[in-house]
Structure 1
């Protein structure tokens, strides 16, 4: 019996607030460093459980669009948003980020993709896509997981 991939990720990421390998401390530091104006419009591709967008709303009162393929993670995101930012202008869309086309291109003040550049076949494709969705002089943020040091061979076994 083959497990559905998004159910697998739901199980393996059940205890994670953020689906990428980072700490809440680092996430909060990033949010503090951003110093955004309120009322910006933000796009997050591969939003996962929506923690980054929800924290942006809590801190800066932005409006947001989060796109993700996982119905399980988006379910978590919707529950958290309803509890923490019930009146926010937040749209959570279940679809492949590669297929997301907003009504108006270049309409976001900040476009980001954290830990999922594979959606656009790598870093260059990710940057091109995010640029196409961001207003002139807007912000683009891309983050990728990486090894601090190569793990031992046994780790992969």
Structure 2
């Protein structure tokens, strides 16, 4: 049970595995007015940057669950580095279907709604761990504008145009599911650049160190084609944001 190697190679230098910059992640924590002692559950927690920095900056506590052994190890190391290992812990496990033993104040899935087959399923999974009146955080892509053709759709790592919604439609979907959107933090094009361009450097440095690895051809192909595909399509058509929800 783990992520494919290509994913951890691609994001080997990343602390945040989505297009939020550290400044935007910090701004989101501030915007939510997190009280000391807030208890959180983060499903698909990656390298733990959200829980660790919010534990340091706001005094929250919580648990992260992620399928990647590499990222879980990095999250534990980050907690130790920031002196919050007594406040947060990280579990290597499949986050799909994971429910907290006791209801928490904040439950999140930031950028991995595939764990419950999309937004609706993920919102329902998160709700099962949430105390009444608590906050749900969902990170999700959306179309900045409608892609012109299937080539553009696939270049944005979607199988169909219907995989993502335009931003107003995504917000309306949350409402249809019975939630108020009470805050949001959106990636901008510079946020995307920082996230995606760092992947290319990670790929190139890995390739230089591992030219004979069984994944070398796949890494070379991605590094050859992805920068231009991103500049032509992803940067123009794909948005991403974290949305804070409260049940109506």
TM-score, normalized by the shorter chain, greater than 0.5: yes
CA contact (8 A) 1:45 1:97 kept: yes
- Gap regions ≥5 residues in structure 2: 156-227, 231-248
Deviation at 1:143, TM superposition (A): 1.2
**Kindly tell me: are residues 69 and 87 of structure 1, through their superposed partners in 2, closer, same or farther at Cα, counting changes over 3 Å?**
closer
Q: How many residues align?
A: 151
- RMSD of aligned Cα (Å): 2.0
SS in 2 for 1:8: helix
1:31 corresponds to: 29
Contact 1:6 1:71 (C-alpha < 8 Å) held by counterparts: no
How far does residue 145 in structure 1 lie from its aligned partner after superposition?
Answer: 2.9
In structure 2, what is the equivalent of residue 129 of structure 1? 125
- Any idea what SS the aligned residue of 2:52 has? helix
**Partner of residue 14 from structure 2, selected from 2, 13, 16:** 16
Shift of 1:9: 1.6
Q: Is the helix fraction higher in 1 or 2?
A: 2
Q: TM-score, normalised by structure 2?
A: 0.56
TM-score normalised over the length of structure 1: 0.87
Larger displacement relative to structure 2 (52-61 or 92-101): 92-101
In structure 1, C-alpha distance between the alignment counterparts of 2:79 and 2:3, rounded to whole Å: 24
- 1 CA distance for matches of 2:123 and 2:30? 23
Superposed, which structure 2 residues align to 1:3-152 within 5 Å? 5-104=3-102, 107-148=103-144, 150=147
Greater C-alpha Rg: 2
| Offset of residue 61 of structure 1 | 0.9
Deviation (angstroms), 1:5: 4.2
Maintained 8 Å contact 1:44/1:113: yes
Structure 1 15/87 Cα, relative in aligned 2: closer, same or farther at 3 Å? Answer: closer
